A and B are shown apart, each in its own frame.
Chain A
Amino acid sequence: MRWSPEAGYFGLPPFRYRAMTNASTVLPDAAIGAMRRVPTARALTTLGRATRHGLEAIGASVRFAARTIGAVRDVGTWGPAATLQMRRLGVDSVPIGVFIAVFTGIVLALLASYSFTGAVPTYFVGTLVEKTITMELAPVLTGLALAGRVGANIAAELGTMRVTEQIDALETLGYDPHAYLVVPRVLAGTIMFPVVVGAAMLTGVASGWLASIGLLDITSPDFVKGLRLFYSGFDVRYGLVKAASFGFVVTLIGSIRGLRASGGAEGVGRAATSAVVFSAILILVFDAFWAVTWLLGRRP
């Protein structure tokens, strides 16, 4: 017995099907139509439908992630494609991360200097640049940028493969699409996002340092003093772990959306767009999640 949201069972909408199978709850069509016209009942129906769709989406994503993790065992399938994906998703993304970090570091140094006029010593510019770049801006901004580049790329690529039935062909040939297509991308994203973010951290702090020396009245020893003042290895660890989680989420969402694409080129476009939107939202959600679970109550 096959079910779909549009047709329900046996080609009937679910509501009619339930009404027909239970004699005590059989309602005439007029009564059903009247209920649907009541605003409260319509709102409750909409809410229930949205809840069901949300839970279905979460469940499907979790199943997809579990299946992807299970496919990691098939190293022979995803291994050869891994470095290619690492280069495409990671190495090729380094210039974007570095470019963003350069300007972020400069702006941050200027902003800190502007904010610290008065009683706060200027060497705190170094502290603020280091803390903000390594713990927040480098992972989040790079993650958002890569969500656009990587997430859309994966969704479009896999979506095109789906609508052109290449994935069906792979399945016909006995390949597991998860092991062959998803695992290398997710692993590449999880491993290479921290690398890109690490490069962005170095670049951002360096550009903030140079901006402080060149544009502000801050000496290099002062900036270094502020940099070292409250520096902790945890700052970098925290940023890199966040970046890895962002990489996992962005590539997984891109893969999910791509493999579920349907409806030709338009469907591929929708998949790419939704991949970017959901990736960006989940990056911010994960950012808050890590802050609450790892930063809250922690003493430097």
Chain B
Amino acid sequence: MKRTNDLLVGTVVLLVVLTLTGATFWVKQTDIGERRTKVVARFRDVGNARVGNAVVIRGVRAGTIEAIELARGGWVHMRMNLDRSMQLPATPVVLLNESSLFGEWQATITPRSALPHDETVQAQVEESSGGGEVLPGATLPDIAKLTAVAGQIAGDVANVAGRVEVAFDERAARELRSSIRNFADLSTTLSHTVRTHAGDLDTLSRGLQSAVASLNRTATSAELMASRIDSSSSSGQIRQMVDDMSHAAAELRRATVQVRVMSEQLSKTQGQLDAFLTNGDSVLVKLNTGQGSLGLLLNDPSLYRNGDSLLTQLRGLVTEVRKNPKKFVSVRLF
């Protein structure tokens, strides 16, 4: 009985211990007998990657993270167990990233050419390169960081929207509508101007065409004249013509000087006339506004009435003098 008990207890204990150990090894995917390839990568920061997380090559689970430990130079070395059948890509790089929204991380082994076009990641890989057998690694931002950045951006957008709401009130909207209307008027005017000047351009173009035709004709005439000059140069007529033209040019220069002097005098006269007109305008303004004695004289109706009354009295006085001069003129000798 005692031996039976011993056997039974021993069997149960061994069975449970072995099963539990085997199950633990199976769940942890422990590498018994070193049947896997070991790969080491280095990072500045491994984020939330943990021992036991998956290692993935082109989306296929290829092994697990076996150990994460601090190394010299501020590096973190991550040792990974890979299935022997798995082949690393050319120029492999290890990226640590979240595999889901629930905090799971994984190590992705990818060729350097397939790295995401992200400056931070590229910089991390460049920095961690050159470690010999140790693969370069980079850590992608986790969801929390991205969410934080997104939240910050959302806050900034909200601020901008708030400011726009403050700045773009009803008055600003009215002004904007007015500006749009002005711009429409301006564009209409410009269109009209363009149409108008298009006609002028047509006219100018036609003028240029006729000028070119005239030039052609002039060239023909000049050619004819040159042939005549050529034919007449032998008889001294050209010399005479040159002398005459020289004389005419001298006359023209003198006439030009006289015209310039006249022009200067005319300019001075114009200036004096402008000053006179300005003064006259000022005097007229003063007269009209009733400034000065003359202005008062012109603008005060009582003066006119007094003058008119005086004239009437003078006329009566003259009539009275004519009728009865002795009344007013008394000649006494003594």
Contacts and interface: CB of A to CB of B under 8 A. Distances in A.
Given A195-B12, A199-B16, A202-B19, A80 B27 contact: no
Interface in B100-154: 100, 102, 104
B85 to A, nearest CB: 18
B5 A84 contact: yes
With most chain A CB atoms within 10 A of its CB, the pick from B16, B17, B100 is B16
Nearest to A232: B52
A273 B6 CA distance: 31
A234 B24 CA distance: 11
A87 B27 contact: no
Nearest to B64: A228
A236 interface: yes
B102 A86 contact: no
A248 interface: no
A158 interface: no
Interface residues of A, number: 28
A91 B20 contact: no
A91 B17 contact: no
Contact of B20 (A191, A202, A227): A202
Chain A interface secondary structure, helix, strand, loop or mixed?
helix
A236 B25 CA distance: 12
A232 B27 CA distance: 9
A205 B23 CA distance: 10
B266 interface: no
Contact of A228 (B5, B52, B102): B52
A83 B100 contact: no
Contacts of A90: 9, 12
A227 B104 CA distance: 13
B8 interface: yes
Contact of A91 (B9, B23, B24): B9
Interface string A229-263: 10111001000000000000000000000000000
A208 to B, nearest CB: 13
Contacts of B6: 83
A144 B81 CA distance: 41
A121 B24 contact: no
B8 A91 contact: yes
Contacts of B9: 83, 86-87, 90-91, 192
Contacts of A84: 2, 5
A29 B29 CA distance: 79
Contacts of B12: 90-91, 94, 195
A78 interface: no
B23 A202 contact: yes
A194 B49 CA distance: 32
7 contacts: A192-B13, A195-B16, A195-B17, A198-B20, A202-B19, A228-B28, A232-B52
Given A83-B2, A192-B9, A231-B27, 8 more contacts: A80-B2, A83-B6, A87-B5, A87-B9, A90-B9, A90-B12, A121-B100, A229-B104
Interface of A: 80, 83-84, 86-87, 90-91, 94, 120-121, 124, 130, 191-192, 195, 198-199, 201-202, 205, 227-229, 231-233, 236, 300
Please provide the 4 A-B residue pairs with the shortest distance between their CB atoms, ordered closest to farther. Answer: A87-B5, A86-B9, A83-B5, A198-B16
